[in-house]
Amino acid sequence: MFPERASVKTAVNALSGSDVRTLEEVTGEMEVFDIRVAADSTVAEQRLADVDLPEGSLVISEAGGERTATSETRLEAGERYIVAADPDGADSVISAFRGE
């Protein structure tokens, strides 16, 4: 248990609003997000096969977890997805989904 890491993730969740939520319970170095696709983001309405996310990142599923994401999954604006990323690519993933 690393309380300092948990408290940092809690602070990030509070500051970033409801569009990005870092899953605080994950251990290790990997970051896991529940993140909403912004309408003006570069990934909105794209199939995963056509999206250029950083190496070491993976869209796991829609946030509801009904089914696993595949290369044919379309990232729809306004929808939430569970995404895992290596620490060095996490900021780029967030930027891609938020349209920054």
Angle among Cα 40, 70, 84 to the nearest 5 degrees reads: 70
Report domain extents, the chain.
Answer: 3-98
Q: Is 99 left (phi over 0), alpha (psi -120 to 50) or beta?
A: left
Lowest-confidence segment of 17-21, 31-35, 70-74, 76-80 by average pLDDT: 17-21
Please write the tens of the pLDDT for every residue from 32-44: 888 899 999 999 9
The structure's pTM equals: 0.73
Please write the tens of the pLDDT for every residue from 43-53: 999 999 999 99
**Interatomic CA distance for residues 26 and 44, integer angstroms:** 26
CATH 3.30.70.1450 fits 3-98, yes or no: yes
